[in-house]
Amino acid sequence: MLRVAVLGAGRIGKIHAANVAANPNAKLIAVADPFGNAAASLADQLSCESSLEPTSLIERDDVDAVVIGTPTDTHVSLMLHAVASGKAVLCEKPIDLDITKADAALHEIERLNGRVMLAFNRRFDPSAQQLRRSIDAGSIGDVRQVIITSRDPGLPSREYLKHSGGIFRDMVIHDFDMARWLLGEDPVELMATASRLVDPTLTDFDDFDTVMVQMRTATGRQCHINCCREAVYGYDQRFEILGSAGMLQNENLRQTTVRRWTRDETEAGDPLLNFFLERYADAYRNELNAFIAAVESGSPMPVTPFDGRQALRLADCALESALTGRAVTV
Amino acid sequence: MLRVAVLGAGRIGKIHAANVAANPNAKLIAVADPFGNAAASLADQLSCESSLEPTSLIERDDVDAVVIGTPTDTHVSLMLHAVASGKAVLCEKPIDLDITKADAALHEIERLNGRVMLAFNRRFDPSAQQLRRSIDAGSIGDVRQVIITSRDPGLPSREYLKHSGGIFRDMVIHDFDMARWLLGEDPVELMATASRLVDPTLTDFDDFDTVMVQMRTATGRQCHINCCREAVYGYDQRFEILGSAGMLQNENLRQTTVRRWTRDETEAGDPLLNFFLERYADAYRNELNAFIAAVESGSPMPVTPFDGRQALRLADCALESALTGRAVTV
Amino acid sequence: MLRVAVLGAGRIGKIHAANVAANPNAKLIAVADPFGNAAASLADQLSCESSLEPTSLIERDDVDAVVIGTPTDTHVSLMLHAVASGKAVLCEKPIDLDITKADAALHEIERLNGRVMLAFNRRFDPSAQQLRRSIDAGSIGDVRQVIITSRDPGLPSREYLKHSGGIFRDMVIHDFDMARWLLGEDPVELMATASRLVDPTLTDFDDFDTVMVQMRTATGRQCHINCCREAVYGYDQRFEILGSAGMLQNENLRQTTVRRWTRDETEAGDPLLNFFLERYADAYRNELNAFIAAVESGSPMPVTPFDGRQALRLADCALESALTGRAVTV
Amino acid sequence: MLRVAVLGAGRIGKIHAANVAANPNAKLIAVADPFGNAAASLADQLSCESSLEPTSLIERDDVDAVVIGTPTDTHVSLMLHAVASGKAVLCEKPIDLDITKADAALHEIERLNGRVMLAFNRRFDPSAQQLRRSIDAGSIGDVRQVIITSRDPGLPSREYLKHSGGIFRDMVIHDFDMARWLLGEDPVELMATASRLVDPTLTDFDDFDTVMVQMRTATGRQCHINCCREAVYGYDQRFEILGSAGMLQNENLRQTTVRRWTRDETEAGDPLLNFFLERYADAYRNELNAFIAAVESGSPMPVTPFDGRQALRLADCALESALTGRAVTV
pLDDT digits (tens, 9 = 90+) for A71-114: 999 999 999 999 999 999 999 999 999 999 999 999 999 999 99
Q: Tell me which of D119, D147, D170 is where a domain ends.
A: D119
Q: Helix B126-136 to helix B281-297 angle, to the nearest 10 degrees?
A: 60
d(C-alpha C246, C-alpha B272), whole Å: 13
φ, ψ of residue A329 in degrees (nearest 5): -85, 125
User: Do D106 and D21 share a structural domain?
Assistant: yes
Asked if the structure places residue D302 within a domain, the reply is no
d(CA C277, nearest CA chain B) in Å: 22
Neighbors of chain B by Cβ distance (3+ pairs < 8 Å):
A, C, D
Q: pTM score > 0.80 for this model?
A: yes
**Contacts C268 to A, Cβ<8 Å:** 265-269
d(CA A136, nearest CA chain B) in Å: 14
d(C-alpha C230, C-alpha C210), whole Å: 8
pLDDT, tens digit, for every residue of D170-200?
999 999 999 999 999 999 999 999 999 999 9
**Contacts A216 to D, Cβ<8 Å:** 193, 195
B233 and D270 in contact by Cβ < 8 A?
no
Rounded mean pLDDT for each run of 10 residues along chain C, 330 residues in total: 96 96 95 93 94 92 97 95 97 95 97 97 98 98 98 96 95 98 98 98 96 98 98 98 98 96 96 95 97 97 97 98 93
Chain A: residue whose CA lies nearest to C274: A263
D270 and B268 in contact by Cβ < 8 A?
no
Q: Give me the pLDDT at residue C36, please.
A: 84
Beginning with the edge strand found earlier in the chain, give each strand of the sheet holding A259-261 in spatial order. A268-269, A259-261, B246-249, B236-243, B143-151, B222-228, B210-217, B187-195, B328-329
**Contacts C269 to A, Cβ<8 Å:** 265-268
User: Do C202 and C276 share a structural domain?
Assistant: yes
How many separate domains does chain B show? 2
Residues C2 and C62: beta-carbon distance below 8 Å: no
User: Do B196 and B61 share a structural domain?
Assistant: no
Asked if the structure places residue D301 within a domain, the reply is no
Chain B: residue whose CA lies nearest to C245: B232
**Which candidate, B48, B18, B56, places its Cα nearest to that of B31?**
B48
The mean pLDDT of D68-72, rounded to a whole number, is 95
Q: Which of C142, C190, C195 to mutate to test the interface with B (most CBs of B within 10 A)?
A: C195
Choice between B54 and C232, residue whose per-residue pLDDT is larger: C232
**Contacts C248 to D, Cβ<8 Å:** 258-261
B197 and C230 in contact by Cβ < 8 A?
no
Asked if the structure places residue C294 within a domain, the reply is no
User: Do C261 and C182 share a structural domain?
Assistant: yes
On average, the pLDDT of chain D sits at: 96
Residues of chain A whose C-beta is under 8 A from some C-beta in B? 126-127, 129-131, 134, 139-140, 245-253, 255-263, 270
User: Do C250 and C128 share a structural domain?
Assistant: yes
Asked if the structure places residue C261 within a domain, the reply is yes
A262 and B140 in contact by Cβ < 8 A?
yes
B166: left (phi over 0), alpha (psi -120 to 50) or beta: left
Give residue A223's domain range.
Answer: 131-283+313-329
Spatial neighbors of C154 by CB under 8 A, at least 6 apart, are C229, C230, C232
Of B145, B195, B231, the CB nearest to C220: B195
Q: How many CB atoms lie within 10 A of CB D108?
A: 16
User: Do D94 and D180 share a structural domain?
Assistant: no
d(CA B126, nearest CA chain A) in Å: 6
Chain B: residue whose CA lies nearest to D261: B233
Q: Give me the pLDDT at residue B111, please.
A: 97
Beginning with the edge strand found earlier in the chain, give each strand of the sheet holding B88-92 in spatial order. B49-51, B26-32, B2-7, B65-68, B88-92, B116-119
C250 and D256 in contact by Cβ < 8 A?
yes
Residues of chain C whose C-beta is under 8 A from some C-beta in B? 142, 144-145, 147, 149, 151, 189, 191, 193, 195-198, 210-216, 220-222, 224, 226, 228, 230-233, 236, 242, 244-247, 325-327
**Which candidate, B38, B40, B39, B45, places its Cα nearest to that of B21?**
B45
Residue B36 pLDDT grade (very low, low, confident, very high; cuts 50, 70, 90): confident
B37: CATH: 3.40.50.720
pLDDT, tens digit, for every residue of B253-290?
999 999 999 999 999 999 999 999 999 999 999 999 99
| Separation in Å, CA A213 to CA A138, A146, D173, D191 | 27, 12, 21, 10
φ, ψ of residue D149 in degrees (nearest 5): -110, 125
Q: What percent of chain B has pLDDT over 90?
A: 97
User: Do C135 and C108 share a structural domain?
Assistant: no
**Contacts C191 to B, Cβ<8 Å:** 191, 193, 214, 327
Residues B298 and B33: beta-carbon distance below 8 Å: no
User: Do C133 and C258 share a structural domain?
Assistant: yes
Of B198, B210, B216, the CB nearest to C222: B210
User: Do B139 and B214 share a structural domain?
Assistant: yes
Transcribe B38-53 into DSSP letters: HHHHHHHHHT-EEES-
Q: Tell me which of B64, B94, B119 is where a domain ends.
A: B119
Q: How many CB atoms lie within 10 A of CB C326?
A: 15
A210 and D231 in contact by Cβ < 8 A?
no
B268 and D269 in contact by Cβ < 8 A?
yes
Asked if the structure places residue A213 within a domain, the reply is yes
A134 and B259 in contact by Cβ < 8 A?
no
pLDDT, tens digit, for every residue of D25-64?
999 999 999 988 999 999 999 999 999 998 889 999 999 9
Q: Give me the pLDDT at residue D36, please.
A: 85
D317: left (phi over 0), alpha (psi -120 to 50) or beta: alpha
Q: Give me the pLDDT at residue B321, please.
A: 96
The mean pLDDT of D209-218, rounded to a whole number, is 98
User: Do B113 and B212 share a structural domain?
Assistant: no
d(C-alpha A204, C-alpha A240), whole Å: 35
A267 and C270 in contact by Cβ < 8 A?
no
**Contacts B222 to C, Cβ<8 Å:** 193, 195, 210-212, 226
H/E stretch holding B322 reads helix B305-324
| Separation in Å, CA B170 to CA B314, D108, D145 | 12, 82, 53
**Contacts A257 to B, Cβ<8 Å:** 127, 250-253
Q: Give me the pLDDT at residue B209, please.
A: 98
Asked if the structure places residue B301 within a domain, the reply is no
d(C-alpha A26, C-alpha C176), whole Å: 62
Neighbors of chain C by Cβ distance (3+ pairs < 8 Å):
A, B, D
A232 and C267 in contact by Cβ < 8 A?
no
The mean pLDDT of B206-218, rounded to a whole number, is 98
Asked if the structure places residue D290 within a domain, the reply is no
Q: Give me the pLDDT at residue A36, please.
A: 84
Chain D: residue whose CA lies nearest to B272: D266
D180: CATH: 3.30.360.10
User: Do C319 and C246 share a structural domain?
Assistant: yes
Residues B205 and B162: beta-carbon distance below 8 Å: yes
User: Do A137 and A112 share a structural domain?
Assistant: no
d(C-alpha C236, C-alpha B7), whole Å: 48
The mean pLDDT of D292-316, rounded to a whole number, is 97
Of A232, A262, A268, the CB nearest to C232: A262
Asked if the structure places residue D296 within a domain, the reply is no
d(C-alpha A256, C-alpha C201), whole Å: 39
**Contacts B240 to A, Cβ<8 Å:** none
Q: Tell me which of C90, C119, C148 is where a domain ends.
A: C119
Q: Give me the pLDDT at residue A186, please.
A: 98
User: Which residues does chain A have with pLDDT short of 50?
Assistant: none
